[in-house]
Structure 1
Amino acid sequence: MTNARDPRIDFFRGLALIFIFWDHVPDNPFAQLTVRNFGFSDAAEIFVFLAGYAAVLAYGRVAERDGMLVACTRILRRVWVLYVVHIFLLTLLMGIVFVANNHVESRDMIQIMGLEYFVKYPQQALADELLLRFKPNLTDPLPLYILLLLALPLILPWLLRRAHYVVGLSLALYLMVPLFGWNLSAYEGGVWYFNPVAWQLLFVLGGVCAVRSRNAVVQPTRPLSRQPLFIAAATYVVLAGLITLSWKWPAFHEALMPKLLNDVLYPISKTDLAPARLLHFLALAYCTAKLLPRSQALLNNWPAQQTCRMGRYSLEVFCLGVLLAPMADMLNALAGDTWPMQVCTALAGLGLMMMLAGWLEWNRRLGLSARALAV
């Protein structure tokens, strides 16, 4: 595979992490600016798609350089690291929520974070946590990623050589959800909030795009206005945006949407990655790829560089964002949920995420310098 790193991948991973943090702080004014307000999909689709892209790009290079056995060994080692991080993250999150709940009187933080099960049945909850069945609010993406990465050794050889077969099988598996209701079981008879049977399709499509990128050849193209696929995708993105905005005014939405379209479109399930969400994300990703050139020129500014840096350390920044969300909610509640405090906590959380990414980058460069001196 090519060694060139597409800076857009890091940028949009970082942007998704910012959106995830802002979306999970209740009544955060900056949450009105995230992608979920302008279409059917949200930052979760970005996160999973780019996780597949980055994983296949990284481990595909290892497979081609050192062999498939080495690549699969590294994948499984990464899965173990993610599993340990998941357990550690849940422990920290529960500690923060329990402390916050003792200081906040205006709302039940334990109920908001989905920790009632742990309070009622601590022993069973711990067992379910180890089995990835118990996932409090905000933590669902990490178990999904663990499961998808665990399956990567099975499909990576085929992705590198016969990607269209993998896409066909992945699509067939996705169709099992509406046909037979497939999902994995969770605690108390529930199911996974992010249904892996459905969301695996986005992960696979991200991996396919990574494989295709190695053979990408820059060729003269027709103007976008003369590309039917781009026009169709852009039209869908605009229409989805208008429908989503109309949700803020129910009377207008009811007048805008014909009953037949309502029956076809709703419900737009996030758990099962409804076709409307999937198509919206794919259309949005396609339009973005066409409109935003691969050149780093547009990303050579301080905000974009900080966002790219967060994207390069997505696991660490994601975990910090999960811990910061209930802390921000607690501070907002203690301050009476005033608008200035909500703005301050949202910006402070973003600043801490940027500082963590900066520290990790500095630490990485320090380690490279030390190894260079040792040689």
Structure 2
Amino acid sequence: MTNGRDHRIDFFRGLALIFIFWDHVPANPFAQLTLRNFGFSDAAEVFVFLAGYAAVLAYGRVAQRDGYVVACLRILRRTWVLYVAHIFLLTLLMGIVFVANNHVETRDMVREMGLEYFVGNPQQALADELLLRFKPNLTDPLPLYILLMGALPLILPILLRNAALAIGLSIALYLMVPLLGWNLRAYEGGGYWYFNPVAWQLIFVLGGAFALHTQRAPIAKNPIRPIWQQPLFLVAAAYLLMAGVITVLWKFPDVHNALLPTALAELIYPISKTDLSPVRLLHFLALAYVVAKMLPTSLYWLDNWPVQQTCRMGRYSLEIFCLGVLLAPLADMANALADDAWQMRVITALLGLGLMLLLSNWLELNKRLGSPKAARMVEV
């Protein structure tokens, strides 16, 4: 942790943004390397968990230092920034998709991106866009983030006073999804939110609670047992291994159906991303626990160039996420125009990653040039 910022969080958030971009490009060969290929959860859980971690860590300090009212004002200001970014993102995305659709004759990219509603009813679609009800494909995480940040002034004081109570209330709300089917409606005829905020708020709250735990955790006086002697670690690792095997077997349906016991299949399926199925939730929690346990205690691993660049992307997560959303249909268009040749798929995946790196470095440079120290140097 440097200057009050945990660069490990930046690293994993940057990694999640890379995975999200690669997952958003159809038939992208690098998408075979992302989390969704090795377990029940994917980069979305990582993104939401770390969003909760970073938000509670940052605004919790503000609340303790400057008071709850100041923290609320800053949270609402950040929420407004996210909302404005969402509106601009949708505008740019629709323009890109319409241009791409005019050039790609073999596919209907407007339909694939979920923009038929806008084409058929533009006035109502714009109104629903402002109300976060109309969300074309690829944009769903941002409205969820906006809603969770908007609710943070209600969550934060409970977390700061009694994290266990906050988690208990969050779990109770999560249980309303399987018990009562709670979710928010999308636009008329558009069903419900793809990321059910009633369910996904639990990941956000757990991230915030973990942030507070890491700040308050006492330094262990007794020697810590090796991880292979810790029962919880072994259980979590075994669950990850089982989930990984099952996920790999999805590519071989006949083998999957032959090997997976019927009772186990009935227990875990269907695995809903929308409602954050328990097996997805448990998989992510197991993954987070195992990774946290296996991370080196020293921070030297953060000093190499690829990790630093990934951290930089995580530091500017909003801008990088928006760029990734815009690059995905452009990459898809380029791939389609090249008859989906594997060489073009590789080029677009790496070029998109390069542009994300370029933007993060430009933002970092711009921030440094705008700092008071840099301003004084320019004046001299």
Q: TM-score, normalised by structure 2?
A: 0.96
Deviation at 1:287, TM superposition (A): 0.1
The aligned counterpart of 1:301 is: 304
- Amino acid in structure 1 at the alignment position of 2:106: S
The CA deviation at 1:6 is 2.4
Q: Quote how far apart the aligned CAs of 1:10 are.
A: 0.5
Distance apart, 1:203 and its partner CA: 0.1
User: Using the alignment, how far apart are the partners of 1:18 and 1:8 within structure 2?
Assistant: 16
1:49-73: CA deviation from partner (whole Å, max 9, x where unpaired): 0000000011011111111110000
Per-residue CA deviation, residues 66-117 of structure 1 (Å, 9 max, x unaligned), is 1111000000011111111100000000000000000001111101111011
Q: What amino acid is aligned across from residue 24 of structure 2 in structure 1?
A: H
Alignment partner, residue 342 of structure 1: 345
- Partner residue, 1:325: 328
Deviations 1:208-261 (A, max 9, x none): 011111112342311111111101000000100000000010111011111111
Find the aligned partners of 1:13 and 1:72 in 2 and give their Cα distance: 24
Matches within 5 A, 1:236-275: 236-275=239-278
On the 8 A contact 1:8/1:294 being kept in 2, the answer is: no
Deviates more, 1:134-143 or 1:5-14: 5-14
Structure 2 equivalent of residue 86 of structure 1: 86
Deviation digits for residues 319-369 of structure 1 (CA, Å, limit 9, x no counterpart): 000000000000001111000000000000000000000000011111113
Match of 1:231 in 2: 234
Give the distance between the partners of 2:259 and 2:219, measured in 1 at CA.
42
Moved more, 270-279 or 150-159: 150-159
Q: Indicate yes or no: 2:153 matched with 1:153.
A: yes
Q: What secondary structure is seen at the aligned counterpart in 1 of 2:188?
A: helix
| 1:204 aligned partner | 205
Tell me how far apart the structure 1 counterparts of residues 201 and 136 of structure 2 sit (CA, whole Å): 21
Task: Show the 5 A alignment for 1:29-40.
Answer: 29-40=29-40
Structure 1 unaligned segments of length 5 or more: list them.
Answer: none
Q: How does 1:145-224 map to 2 (within 5 A)?
A: 145-189=145-189, 190-219=191-220, 220-224=223-227
Deviations 1:159-204 (A, max 9, x none): 1111111100000000000000000000124100000000000000
Partner of 1:131: 131
Q: Structure 1 residues 185-194 or 10-19, which shifts more?
A: 185-194
Secondary structure at the aligned position of 1:133 is classed as: coil
Q: Equivalents in 1 of 2:175, 2:108: separation in Å?
A: 38
Paired with 1:215 and 1:265, the residues of 2 have a C-alpha distance of: 36
Q: TM-score, normalised by structure 1?
A: 0.98
Looking at structure 2, the residues matched to 328 and 255 of structure 1 have their Cα atoms a distance apart, in angstroms, of 38
* Structure 2 CA distance for aligned equivalents of residues 4 and 287 of structure 1: 24
Over residues 36-60 of structure 1, what are the superposed CA-to-partner deviations in whole Å (9 max), with x where a residue is unaligned? Answer: 0000000000000000000001101
In 2, Cα distance between equivalents of 1:296 and 1:310: 18
| 8 Å contact from structure 1 (residues 49, 202) kept in 2 | yes
Residue of structure 1 equivalent to 2:77: 77
Task: List, as ranges, runs of 4+ consecutive aligned residues in structure 1 with deviation greater than 4 Å.
Answer: 371-375
SS of the residue aligned with 2:41? coil
Contact in 2 for aligned 1:2/1:214 (Cα 8 Å)? no
Unaligned runs of 5+ in 2: none
Tell me the distance in 2 between the aligned counterparts of 1:56 and 1:346.
33
C-alpha displacement at 1:293, in angstroms?
A: 2.3
Percent identity for Structure 1 against Structure 2: 74
What amino acid is aligned across from residue 209 of structure 1 in structure 2? F
Match of 1:105 in 2: 105
Q: Give me the whole-angstrom Cα distance separating, in 2, the residues matched to 1:48 and 1:222.
A: 31
1:132-171 deviation digits (Å, cap 9, x = unpaired)? 0000000000000000000000111111111111100000
Deviation at 1:372, TM superposition (A): 4.9
C-alpha deviation, 1:2, in angstroms: 10
Q: AA paired with 2:31?
A: A
Instruction: Tell me how far 1:300 sits from its aligned partner.
Output: 1.7
Measure the CA separation in 2 of the matches of 1:194 and 1:372: 46
Partners in 1 of 2:250 and 2:343 — Cα distance?
Answer: 26
> 3-state DSSP class of the match of 1:188?
coil
What is the aligned partner in structure 2 of residue 292 from structure 1? 295
